[in-house]
Structure 1
Amino acid sequence: MAEDEMSEKQLNEAIESLCVSKAEEFRLIGYEQVTGRDIWECVSQKYEKEGFPPLYQLVNDILSLKATQFMNYLTISAFRGSRF
């Protein structure tokens, strides 16, 4: 394993940190109930078909998530009857 590669644990911690950061950003603009897990579920749902993306795309998808995209995800999840 090269020194610059991340272990699975490090990758999960980095993803969790990014999602928590995005959830905090949403809380600042008034979405009080958003959690890091909610952010991850929203972002990761598109990977079900495409597979897991490269790290740079994953980071971009999390950090560029807009509140409107997140609300659309919640609305569609509610219509499908899944937990949001």
Structure 2
Amino acid sequence: MESQLWNHDKLSAEIEAMCRSKAEEFRLLGYEYVTGQDIWDCISRSYAKEGTPPLHKLVNDIYSLKANSYMNYLTIAAYRGQG
């Protein structure tokens, strides 16, 4: 049981690192205030309906996120009063 928890914690840390990496990429493109949490919020918005995706889809969703898609997410969130 403990090894499963460690694996879950390690996996969560890796996903968090991927989100931070994507946020750093966006900062290099001029989006100064993007955080890893912002990336996760953008990516995970569709998971509420679908449920947690397989790991390969999650990784693909993070690394293939485009700045335009992120900005669309922020715009819609602002209109809904969530941002």
SS in 2 for 1:65: coil
Give the deviation of 1:74 after TM superposition: 0.1
CA shift for structure 1 position 8: 1.3
Instruction: Count matched residues.
Output: 80
Give, as a single letter, the amino acid of the residue that structure 1 aligns with 2:80: R
TM-score normalized by the length of structure 2: 0.91
1:17 is matched with 17
1:29 equivalent in structure 2: 29
Higher share of residues assigned helix: 2
| Aligned CA-pair RMSD | 1.5
Unaligned runs of 5+ in 1: none
TM-score of the pair, normalised by structure 1:
0.90
- Aligned residue type for 2:78: A
The amino acid of 1:32's aligned partner reads E
**Structure 2 residues not aligned, in runs of 5+:** none
Q: Mapping of 1:1-84 within 5 angstroms?
A: 7-83=7-83
State how far apart, in whole Å, the 1-side matches of 2:58 and 2:10 are: 14
Distance 1:46 1:10 in 2: 23
Alignment partner of 2:27: what SS? Answer: helix
1:66 partner amino acid = K
Q: CA deviation at 1:11?
A: 1.2
